[in-house]
Amino acid sequence: MQVIVVGGGLVGSTLAAKLAGDGHDVTLVEQSRELIADLNERLDVQTICGNGATIPVLIKAGIENADLLLATTDSDEANMVVALVGSVIFKVQKVAARLRDPGHEGGFRRIAREPGEERVAINPDMAAVEKILSLMPVPGAVDVVSFFDGKLLIGGFHIKRGCEFAGLLLSHLGLLFPATPMLVVAIRRDGRWRVPFGDDEIRAGDLVYFAMDPGELDNVLVLLGLHRGEERRVMIAGATRIGVALARRLETNGVPVTLVDERRPVCDIAAAELSDTLVIHGSPTDRELLREEGAERVEGFVACTDRHEENVVSCLLAGKMGAAHTFALVDNAALSGLVGDLGIDAIISPRLLSVSLALHFARKGRIKSVAALLEDSVEVFEVEAVAGSRLVSSPLSEIGLPRGILIVAVQRDGRICIPGGDDRIEPGDQVIVAAAAEVAARLDDILET
């Protein structure tokens, strides 16, 4: 596939690297000369220096033959122009634009498109809001994805020393906790991850992804040694676009929200926009203020100011005071690498989320990938089992699935089950499959007749 990425920032360069890794021909357009030189060194992509929102530069980047165009600069307006030029003038089939302002996003969606054309707006801020909202009901989770209309849940949790799972063999899970059906989908250890087999072991310090029935969540949380907060209240530090949007969503769900910001004018605007949220003027790192407003009893503490170091500090502070569940907005790769083990439940990176969304859009092919876990290294697919394919030929243990591919769950007649080695899959079943990105291509062999 011929891919053009406009914008060489964190989002653009990460995307370019991943897509090049997938085997596509990538051209990266960037205005800054220094950045271009650096990217040229690091990435296996073609780089062009120039303003990507102009037609000559896009032609030079090969837009006339491009299959995919990704507009990822920091400016909404520039991205809008790039995407429109690409789809309206050059009829590029797949176009994605990163747009942060919901007003721009709405306008972008309303522009008419021809049949077969795919065009998406990717909003990093709203993606962050959605992410936090999905994590909120699952304390301690770093990642949560749900399938089959919410009837199956995959959540990633850090294994603490002394919790029930530490030191267990995966094959013993079912024997030890027969009342709580669950499956380990992926494990990350020492910065490397794997789709596990039965002989793998869970160790303290691992990041483990469990698949489970949402009804079993509370039992699993007990086993993990996690607890819910005393109050349903959520405290948000930073009345940024993300903070206000999150507060509004929580408000409509009936969750009480406290929003803290130290900039008075920003507080005024937020208070005017929100209806039930308690807006507090003060510093989110002021211990006395947090105590006064009951941070020690909140269910969730979300730090989403524009200063990401401060987000880490206020999350640590709130976590230490007793907030059940802390989220920090951190877009800086070095910083998020450092704070991973400090006790903040989830690090949210809008940039990486938009990378993830764009990648998802780019990879969307014949088999529908529904989610990506572990920084896009594990893809999760939802497929229908076809008669005559290898998948339905014999019990799961005898199919000979390659390492890195795992059958997570099966939906048959509206009922969900997590299959064992002796179970069979029948034609017509809906199947959730997890696959490591590098073996995902081999899924076809198993699924096709």
Partner 1 sequence: MNRRFVTYLLGWLLLLDCAFLGLPLLASLAFGESPEPWVAAMAVAGVIGLLLVRIRPPADRHIRPRDGFLVVSGAWIAASVVGAVPYLVTGVLGPADGFFEAVSGFTTTGSTVIADVTVIPRSLLLWRAMSQWLGGMGIILFTIAILPLLGIGGMQLFKAEVPGPVADKVRPRLAATARTLWMVYVGFTIAEWIALRLAGLSGFDALCHSFTTLATGGFSTRNTSVGEFGSATVEWIVIFFMLMAGINFVLHYRVLIGRGREVWRDSELRYFLGVVGVSTVVLFVTVHEDGARIGDSIRHAAFQTVSILTTTGYCTTDFERWATLPLLVLLCLMVLGGMSGSTGGGIKSLRALLAISSLRTTLHRLIHPHAVQPVKYGGTVVSESVLSGIWAFLTAYLMISLAGAGVVAAYGYDLLTSISAAMTAIGNVGPGLGEIGAYDNFAHFPGLVKVVLAGCMLFGRLEVFTILALFSREFWRH
Cα dihedral 197→202→206→207 (10° resolution): 60
Q: Could you give the CA distance from residue 159 to residue 448 in angstroms, rounded to a whole number? A: 37
CB of 404 vs partner 1, minimal distance in Å: 52
* Residue closer to partner 1, measured from CB, 175 or 272: 272
Per-residue contact track with partner 1, 182 to 211, x per CB under 8 A?
------------------------------
Full DSSP string of 326-364: EEEE---HHHHHHHTTTT-SEEE-HHHHHHHHHHHHHH-
Q: Could you give the CA distance from residue 237 to residue 240 in angstroms, rounded to a whole number? A: 9
CB of 104 vs partner 1, minimal distance in Å: 24
CB of 237 vs partner 1, minimal distance in Å: 13
* Residue closer to partner 1, measured from CB, 1 or 278: 278
* Residue closer to partner 1, measured from CB, 282 or 322: 282
* Residue closer to partner 1, measured from CB, 310 or 429: 310
- 252 binds partner 1, rule: CB under 8 A: no
Among 28, 154, 267, 298, binds partner 1 (CB under 8 A): 267
Q: Could you give the CA distance from residue 316 to residue 113 in angstroms, rounded to a whole number? A: 47
Q: Could you give the CA distance from residue 293 to residue 440 in angstroms, rounded to a whole number? A: 48
CB of 283 vs partner 1, minimal distance in Å: 10
Among 264, 413, 415, 422, binds partner 1 (CB under 8 A): 264
CB of 290 vs partner 1, minimal distance in Å: 11
Q: Could you give the CA distance from residue 436 to residue 403 in angstroms, rounded to a whole number? A: 9
CB of 244 vs partner 1, minimal distance in Å: 13
Residues 49-68 that bind partner 1 (CB under 8 A): none
CB of 278 vs partner 1, minimal distance in Å: 6
**Which residues are bridge partners to 189 per DSSP?**
192
Sequence-separated (6 or more) residues with CB below 8 Å from residue 110: none
CB of 447 vs partner 1, minimal distance in Å: 52
- Write b or e for each residue in 406-423: b if 16 or more Cβ atoms lie within 10 A of its Cβ, otherwise e: bbbbbbeeeebebbeeee
CB of 264 vs partner 1, minimal distance in Å: 7
At 411, list the tokens: 């939906």
CB of 259 vs partner 1, minimal distance in Å: 9
In terms of Cα–Cα distance, which of 289, 341, 281, 275 is closest to 312?
341
Q: What are the CA-CA distances from residue 194 to residues 206, 379, 395, 421 (Å)?
A: 11, 12, 23, 19
241-252 vs 264-273: helix crossing angle, rounded to 10: 30
* Residue closer to partner 1, measured from CB, 33 or 264: 264
Q: Could you give the CA distance from residue 215 to residue 384 in angstroms, rounded to a whole number? A: 25
Among 22, 130, 251, 268, binds partner 1 (CB under 8 A): 268
Q: How many residues bind partner 1 (CB under 8 A)?
A: 15
* Residue closer to partner 1, measured from CB, 1 or 289: 289
Q: Could you give the CA distance from residue 283 to residue 275 in angstroms, rounded to a whole number? A: 22
Among 270, 295, 359, 436, binds partner 1 (CB under 8 A): 270
CB of 249 vs partner 1, minimal distance in Å: 18
* Residue closer to partner 1, measured from CB, 293 or 345: 293
Among 271, 386, 417, 439, binds partner 1 (CB under 8 A): 271
Q: 55 burial class (0-12, 13-18, 19+ CB within 10 angstroms)? A: exposed
Q: Could you give the CA distance from residue 256 to residue 233 in angstroms, rounded to a whole number? A: 5
* Residue closer to partner 1, measured from CB, 76 or 262: 262
- 417 binds partner 1, rule: CB under 8 A: no
* Residue closer to partner 1, measured from CB, 207 or 271: 271
Residues 274-313 that bind partner 1 (CB under 8 A): 275, 278-282, 289, 292-293
Q: Could you give the CA distance from residue 437 to residue 310 in angstroms, rounded to a whole number? A: 34
**Which residues are bridge partners to 69 per DSSP?**
4, 95
Q: Which residues bind partner 1 (CB under 8 A)?
A: 264, 267-268, 270-272, 275, 278-282, 289, 292-293
